Amino acid sequence: MPRIVFFIKSVNNPGGTERVLSVISSQFVEEGFDVDIISIKGKGSAPFFKFNDKITIHYLFSDDKAISPYREIRRGVMMKRIFRTIKPNLLVMVGSNQGLSARMANKGIKTVTWEHFNIIINSSAKLRFLHRISVRTSDAIVTLTERDAQEYTRRYGARNALCIPNPVTLDVSGRRDFSAERKIMLNPARICKQKRQDLLLRAWSLSKGPELGWKLQIVGNGKPRMIESARRLAEKLGILDSIEICRPDKRIADRYNEAGVVVLSSEFEGLPLVLIEAQAMGVPQLSFDCATGPSEIIVGGKTGLLAEPLNVSALAKGMDELMTDDNLRLRMSGESLRNAVNYSVDNITRQWLDLYHRTVGPN
């Protein structure tokens, strides 16, 4: 059988990248592939997400704190040993930021770099170097957005960059019919500087949400100081009674079923999976039109609204437009369900299979 191996920093993390990897890798198993995952860290623990039982996970270390370049050499040697045993047809690098270790070990193996981050924002000197290496040593660069694929071409002269968005990874079988009675504005996002919950709270304080009986629900992990800072700002703005800050859990589908709007206030994104999930659950979306992703997911005026980046007044205006128009939200719910087909697992899997056969050839 054809064999594909994915290389990731830690398969055990509870992030969007790992969740999508669990889905795509399991789909390859269903299509008759042998699938392996090489995880740099995490030995001795288990993945947060469910992976197909037929997938073999190879852990290199419990942690990896060695100093570069020794770290890269050590990783490369260990990976080369694994490759000699499993003999993969295709190596998928999950992120160009994994360093040079796989480049040392992948001689003779077709390689795809699967970029999960916005390269416009994530462009330190080190990352720019790794992006260039990826372009030179990969048979294809897969980005999550068309804009990132274009940037790889413009900045690094890539002739092999293409966009394959993330699929809907959420189990939507329990989706309930959308109701205009829902009065929760849901922000499912890490509580950190990038997600700009400070701007979200300021917009909420300018909106009609509190007086209309709506609640702003922020669901995400964050450093204690960031969470406390958000609470203090809400108290200062006089909106503490109309907000709720919750830790993430595995009942996210239930939260979408209770939400009237899903809102993002991020300074930048890659491809925000929560907007795709919102569409699949039939929930209207509101987001800053930041780089990159929201404008490629939200169909403005149909599935949701886009606000000028970092403009608090514009975000508050979008909130009010959605909260005060029940019929608009109902229409957007229907449009969201229709648009979500573009992100179905079957559709995205087909694009990955096409890429495999173009890269490796008939097998």
- Domains of the chain, residue spans: 3-167+344-360, 184-342
Per cent of the chain over pLDDT 90 is 76
Assess whether the region 3-167+344-360 and the region 184-342 belong to the same CATH fold. yes
In this prediction the pTM is 0.87
Whether pLDDT at 302 is above 80: yes
pLDDT tens-digit map of 14-34: 888 898 999 999 999 999 999
Q: Stretch 77-94: mean pLDDT, rounded?
A: 94
* C-alpha distances in Å from residue 215, one per residue of 2, 55, 96, 229: 50, 42, 39, 19
Residues 129/135, Cβ–Cβ less than 8 Å = no
Q: How far apart are CA 300 and CA 283, in angstroms?
A: 14
pLDDT tens-digit map of 121-154: 767 888 888 889 889 889 999 999 999 999 999 9
* C-alpha distances in Å from residue 227, one per residue of 90, 219, 234: 42, 11, 11
The candidate with the shortest Cα–Cα distance to 64, out of 79, 82, 49, is: 79
Q: How far apart are CA 312 and CA 263, in angstroms?
A: 13
Confidence of residue 99 (pLDDT cuts 50, 70, 90): low
The CATH code for residues 3-167+344-360 is 3.40.50.2000
Whether pLDDT at 321 is above 70: yes
Q: How far apart are CA 105 and CA 84, in angstroms?
A: 10
What angle (nearest 5°) sits at the alpha carbon of residue 190, between those of residues 189 and 196? 80
Whether pLDDT at 361 is above 90: no
In this predicted structure, what is the pLDDT of residue 37? Answer: 97
Confidence of residue 102 (pLDDT cuts 50, 70, 90): confident
In this predicted structure, what is the pLDDT of residue 16? Answer: 81
Structure-token pair, residue 167: 């699929």
Strands (E), 99-152: 110-114, 140-143
Whether pLDDT at 68 is above 90: no
Q: For 59, list phi and psi in degrees, rounded to 5.
A: -95, 135
Q: Stretch 47-61: mean pLDDT, rounded?
A: 94
Residues 115/141, Cβ–Cβ less than 8 Å = yes
At 294 the three-state DSSP class reads: helix
Mean pLDDT of the chain: 93
Highest mean pLDDT among 46-60, 86-100, 103-117: 46-60
Q: Stretch 185-191: mean pLDDT, rounded?
A: 96
Q: How far apart are CA 265 and CA 253, in angstroms?
A: 21
Whether pLDDT at 55 is above 90: yes
Please tell me the chain's helix, strand, coil percentages from 3-state DSSP, rounded to the nearest 5: 45, 20, 40
Highest mean pLDDT among 99-108, 228-237, 244-253: 228-237
Q: Stretch 44-73: mean pLDDT, rounded?
A: 84
Per cent of the chain over pLDDT 70 is 97
The candidate with the shortest Cα–Cα distance to 122, out of 143, 101, 107, is: 143
Whether pLDDT at 67 is above 60: no
Q: How far apart are CA 130 and CA 75, in angstroms?
A: 16
Whether pLDDT at 250 is above 80: no
150-159 long-range contacts, CB within 8 A, separation 24+: 151/119, 151/120, 152/115, 152/119, 155/119, 155/128, 155/131, 156/131, 156/132
CA 312 to chain centre: 24
pLDDT tens-digit map of 9-19: 999 988 888 98
What angle (nearest 5°) sits at the alpha carbon of residue 41, between those of residues 38 and 42? 100
The CATH code for residues 184-342 is 3.40.50.2000
Cite the DSSP H helix spans in 178-267: 197-206, 224-237, 252-258
